[in-house]
Amino acid sequence: MQNTIVVLGSSNTDMIVKTDRIPRPGETVIGGVFSRAPGGKGANQAVAAARAGGSVVFIGRVGADMLGEEALAGYICDGIDVSRVTRDPDAYSGVALIFVDAKGENSIAVASGANANVTPADVEAARDRIESAAVLLMQLEIPIEAVRAAADIAVARGVRVILNPAPARALDDALLRNISILTPNETEAELLTGISADTDRGVENATEALRARGIETVLLTLGTRGVYIASPEYRGIVPCYPVECVDSTAAGDVFNGVLAASLADGRILLDAVRFASAAAAISVTRMGAQPSAPYREEIEVLFRERG
């Protein structure tokens, strides 16, 4: 179990409409193409890690409904251990409604359902898996109390903790001090620091402000500008892989999942970031969240060609 990635987070079913443009408030846009795909930030990251070759345990909740059954079946097909996923009889499975425009940009609304019922007790039930993991990977689509509980267990056993602070929200220093690697985007970094990351100086100031709050390493994802690394060993940007974007819905989730798998596999941080960036680049050339997550062999091809 020493190379295992434990992912604590959300499971959703994505309902996707691809249109020329995202509707404005009060507007109806006709002509969209509908599709449905498994999603949820936690599940997306678990699938991305598993397809990148990681041994993954997923902790979360789904409803005792058809969508929950379909989600679990999909995770099992990807080789994910779902023995710590609870079937919640009192809630529906999570659903995300997603608009994707012609440029691949998206707008998302989420009905959390069973995800909102994840508790510290669920985390405690998976203590053995967390304590024996190489990496604990989390996001913020579940109650913060569960995130805190998992981080406490991991840190006490020296397990590396990666937090993708999305959706954006304020976080206190007690939690941040337990984070080994924080992976915000520009919006999330600004919410946490009050510093805009739209310039090079802003990127440096925002990441240093976060590290000053007790985080060892900050990976600030900057979209087409790449990923800025601020760690004890390295400062600098890893450029993105230029591709034609079709749907950016799960690019950040793919990055985080493959990052966790790469670190669990023993890659140094810089190589892990480059490998995860290659995976994210592949993902934006495809529609959907989990369907867009590439397999290890695909990532290795792009990584070798352009690494």
Residues 6+ apart with CB under 8 A from 25: none
C-alpha pair distances (Å), 247 with each of 72, 98, 104, 222, 223: 24, 11, 4, 16, 13
Q: Where are the domains of the chain?
A: 4-11+40-93+113-306
Q: What tokens were used for 4? A: 């295992």
Is residue 2 very low, low, confident or very high in pLDDT (cuts 50, 70, 90)? Answer: low
Using CA atoms, how far apart are residues 204 and 104, in angstroms rounded to an integer?
A: 28
Q: What tokens were used for 175? A: 């939690």
In the predicted structure, residue 187 carries a pLDDT above the cut 90: yes
pLDDT, mean over the chain: 94
Tokens 């913020």 label which residue? 140
Q: Is 170 helix (H, G, I), strand (E, B) or coil?
A: coil
For domain 4-11+40-93+113-306, give its CATH number from 3.40.1190.20, 2.40.160.40, 2.60.120.380, 3.30.300.30: 3.40.1190.20
* pLDDT tens sequence across 288-306: 778 899 999 999 999 988 7
Mean of the pLDDT values across residues 189-196? 96
Q: Is 198 considered catalytic here? A: no
Is residue 31 very low, low, confident or very high in pLDDT (cuts 50, 70, 90)? Answer: confident
Using CA atoms, how far apart are residues 180 and 259, in angstroms rounded to an integer?
A: 13
Using CA atoms, how far apart are residues 206 and 285, in angstroms rounded to an integer?
A: 30
Q: Name the strand (E) or helix (H) holding 111.
A: strand 106-111
Note the pTM of the prediction, 2 decimals.
0.93
Using CA atoms, how far apart are residues 6 and 178, in angstroms rounded to an integer?
A: 16
pLDDT at residue 307, as a whole number: 60
